[in-house]
Amino acid sequence: MLGLPALYAIVDPLDTRRPPAALAAALLAGGARLLQLRLKPAISRELLAAAEAIRPLAHAAGALFLVNDRPDIAHAVEADGVHLGQEDLPVAAARRILGRGRIVGVSTHDVDQARAAATAGADYVAVGPIYATTSKANPLRPRGLELVRAVRAAVPCPIVAIGGITAETAPLVCAAGADAVAMIGALVRAADPAAAVRAVLAGIG
C-alpha cells in the first residue's frame, strides 16, 4: 500500500503571484516531501512548463511530485502520478496514460464517492472540504472531521484530508484518521512558506 508523507503540499500561487517553481522550492526547503501542482487557470503549455520546472526540484529533494487533473501532463514530465477530480478521467483511463507504477489519487466529498474511488483502484482518496476554504471558487460546504472518520471506516487505502486545514487543526485531522493533510492557502499565503511547512510538520510529525 502507498505510504504518503504526512503533509501533502499543494503548489498553487492563488492570489500571491508567486512563481510556481519558486513556491515549490520554498515548500521543499521547509521539508515538504510531496508536492501537487495545481494551476486551475493555466493553459496546457503553462501547466507543462511549470511541471517541467518543478519535477526535478521535487525529485532532487526526494519528494513525490503529482500533477492535478491532467494525466497527460503528468506522463509528459514523468511525474510520480496524478490527482483526479470527480469530473476528470476515470482511474483506469488515467493509468493507461500514465503507465505502470504511477500514483493515482481521487478527490471525494462523501463516503460513497470514497468507496467508489477505492474500488476503482485509486492509490489514495482525498476527502473534504473538512473546514471552510478560500482556496477554491464556489467551495462545497465544510464536511468536518466526521467525514474523515466515516471514510476511514469505509476504505482501506490512504486518506488525504483537505479544505481549510491549518497548522493548528492538522493534528486534529490526523487524529481523526487522515494519513496526510493537504494544504494550500495556509502554506502559499504565508509570509514564509518554508517556515509554514516546518510549523505543520512539527505538529504532525
pLDDT tens figures, 108-134 = 999 999 999 999 999 999 999 999 877
Q: Return the residue matching grid coordinates 503529482.
A: 66
Task: Output the pTM of the full model.
Answer: 0.96
Cα–Cα–Cα angle for 27, 53, 17, rounded to 5 degrees: 60
Active-site residue among 33, 70, 95, 107?
107
Q: Give the HSE-up count for residue 144: Cα atoms under 13 Å, Cβ half-sphere.
A: 1
From the candidates 115, 136, 149, 198, give the one annotated as an active-site residue: 136
Grid cell locating 76: 509528459
Active site residue 135: no
- Model pLDDT, residue 141: 87
From the candidate CATH numbers 3.20.20.70, 3.30.1330.20, 3.30.70.1400, 3.40.50.150, the one assigned to the domain spanning 7-204: 3.20.20.70
Q: 68: helix, coil or strand?
A: strand
Residue from 33, 38, 55, 95 carrying the catalytic annotation? 38
Indicate if 70 belongs to the active site: no
The pLDDT assigned to 136 comes to 66
Extract the residue ranges of the chain whose pLDDT is less than 50. Answer: none
Domains of the chain, by residue range, sit at 7-204
Q: Strands 159-162, 7-11: parallel, antiparallel or unpaired by DSSP?
A: unpaired
Model confidence pLDDT, tens digit, residues 44-58: 999 999 999 999 999
